């Protein structure tokens, strides 16, 4: 169907014809094969896609790369790794090489880990801790979500329960017993173990 040159054809939009430029101070890289954005950098904020099943050396090189698609981390500085329901979906051998490589590559690191407990790879909290100790982390302690929740003050729990409006606390507690939070460090001089509890005590 012919269209007027000054009007978009059906389905077109002004944004499609005149896409916005990158926000000032940001940069992105594209997957040339698929045309997908694979990295986004804005100041000190960096996002990039990575398959954690690949050799951990590739990940560390990417993390420490200060080019347009890397955050340029300094592995000698204290670093906190966060993982939310990630390791549970990886084969055990690939999880082990990831944890071992991060412990070795970042000697002053801590790892905060949240995932399901009681699965085949980690049947218990002790298994969760053992997985980190055996891959080079100096210390690791795991708690169920219920244990963490009960460490909050009564006032904090009261506030949370009114925000979330838990209508069946018993079912929630059963669910929380099947999720755990683990904290591991590979430099106990850098991370005082008591530092983990003091912030919780201040929550109100």
Q: Quickly list DSSP for 128-180.
A: HHHHHHTTT-SEEEEEEHHHHHHTS-HHHHHHHHHHHT-S-HHHHHHHHTTEE
Instruction: Report the candidate in 60, 183, 179 with the shortest Cα–Cα distance to residue 133.
Output: 183
Return phi, psi of residue 184, to 5°.
Answer: -125, 145
pLDDT in tens, 15-40: 333 433 444 455 555 554 444 557 77
Residue 28's SS3 state is strand
pLDDT in tens, 156-181: 888 887 886 767 778 888 888 999 99
Instruction: Report the candidate in 14, 7, 71 with the shortest Cα–Cα distance to residue 42.
Output: 71
- The b/e string for 3-13 (b: 16+ C-beta within 10 A; e otherwise) is eeeeeeeeeee
pLDDT in tens, 51-94: 999 999 999 998 998 765 678 899 999 999 999 999 999 999 99
pLDDT of 158 reads 84
Token code pair at residue 80: 């906190």
Domains observed in the chain = 26-73 (no CATH), 76-202 (3.40.50.150)
Q: Are 75 and 64 in contact (CB under 8 A)?
A: yes
Altogether, the residues listed in the chain come to a count of 204
């Amino acid at each position: 169907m012919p269209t007027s040159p000054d009007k978009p054809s059906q389905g077109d939009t002004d944004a499609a014809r005149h896409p916005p430029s990158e926000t000032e101070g940001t940069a992105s890289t594209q997957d040339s094969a698929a045309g997908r954005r694979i990295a986004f950098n804005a100041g000190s904020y960096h996002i990039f896609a990575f398959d954690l099943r690949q050799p951990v050396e590739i990940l560390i090189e990417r993390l420490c790369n200060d080019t347009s698609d890397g955050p340029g981390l300094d592995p000698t500085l204290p670093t906190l790794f966060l993982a939310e329901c990630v390791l549970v979906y990886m084969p055990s051998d690939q999880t082990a090489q990831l944890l071992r490589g991060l412990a070795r590559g970042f000697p002053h690191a801590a790892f905060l880990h949240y995932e399901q407990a009681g699965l085949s790879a980690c049947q218990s909290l002790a298994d969760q801790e053992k997985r980190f100790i055996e891959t080079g982390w100096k210390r690791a302690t795991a708690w169920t979500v219920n244990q963490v929740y009960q460490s909050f003050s009564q006032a904090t729990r009261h506030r949370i329960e009114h925000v979330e409006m838990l209508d069946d606390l018993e079912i929630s507690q059963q669910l929380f017993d099947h999720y755990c939070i683990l904290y591991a460090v590979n430099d106990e001089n850098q991370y005082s173990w008591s530092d983990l509890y003091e912030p919780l005590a201040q929550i109100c």
